[in-house]
Chain A
């Protein structure tokens, strides 16, 4: 198996075959996670650095855990305490890290395109851990992995993604990833959060959550940033929850088999009710475990080029 890519920036650049390779690799990585001794020598001597310009607990610790299990050394730049707060530019900060012979940089940034910007200018590999409203490819891969694990595959499945689609990198990357693998995606939200130009994704847009839930195999609730209300994008949490909240009554329309996903962190009682989040249909915690496996697969593929046997 050969993996020639240096970076993982966007699902859009990947073929369906490449996505399958990542997901297949993640299957053996997940097996490692069940072992009593969760440590591989595969990437011993490799250095992975986290450069997170947005606060993140789960994504950063997921990447760190993944890199450590594979035997790599990790470092993390806490932006608030670094020279970034002294006005150092993104490019200079990343160049400094590159000069320390880092092999792989994991970047999260509020500006769309920031990881690609660095990847084009630095010799080391870059993984996009979420950039602005643009892309969150590892989230999409772990979501699809979680669905595939339940269903065996996603081809022909109907997945409804509901919420603040306009501002969501998770929705964009998931829609791209799922449609590449042959799934049907419907994006749902109020018109202010689901403008018509989102049809660039080539998927159906709908304002009617209840109608779309019928026949859905999976439903993913997006995190609602509560400050959007002050910007006038929706009138109240009450009305949002009434129209687009994932409630038990609503889930009844989809049926007992319908999977419930959420990228986290959740606003319980807003976009998802607790009884749904904690129901047997929910794979929200499994998503977190799978996130480590998928990120292990990516770090392994990018750093070894697929050349060495990962899971000895």
Chain B
């Protein structure tokens, strides 16, 4: 892996990191699993491509992409909060529908190039006289820092605190006068705005928009959040937590670049990222099972030989042990 591909990976990490921040809002803060991502990411990209190609200033195009991403979130949010469709299903439905929408936006083409027009990245590259990928990284850094700061300040306000409380204890914050449906709606919209922005920036970086560019995005994002948590587990500062998900995303893309340099295909990354997420989510259960097995062995040595109907006793012991383990885990 050479320095060029490393820098490229970091650049990609910053740009996808903005999407990760969006996923962080729903998955971590609101405690809602929003799967609109794969669709709205591509929508952001597609919208940017067609607006930029019709000679609108690229910065305005970024805002339009954000706005349309927000509308995608609005759809999922309404399905979830007003029609009471479970969040996961609501997201899948929107995502599925968005595939057709994205194809329409792209004029029924699977991908279109934005190489002919100037973008924010080409502008930066020209002004600073640096290569395209380097300029893309710079733009990614600037915008992701802006997003982190914005979220950090927003979530520290009275309003932002009610978003966090909604994810934490919905019943309680409703009893304190917050319309939790509206908060969720807002959170899902905000999340998909960031995701749309991220998709638009990726189109700038790659110089083309693809209808399948969002495929697996949700898993990339979750993997990034999980990786970030591994590195910054000890920190409770909220700003650092936000940063950690962008950082996790950078690490994820470095791993990806490394794996590709080993000869695997970029598409193999889907499997790898799915595996990372599975391992991270299953870790607590693995730990528990290992503990249960330990207890089981001790008990079988002590009792199984002596008592004929020992199975139940062992089971009981295991259950008790499990209960204390779970309790201990929660406190830690």
Pair from one complex: no
Hey, which bits of chain B sit against chain A, CB under 8 A? none
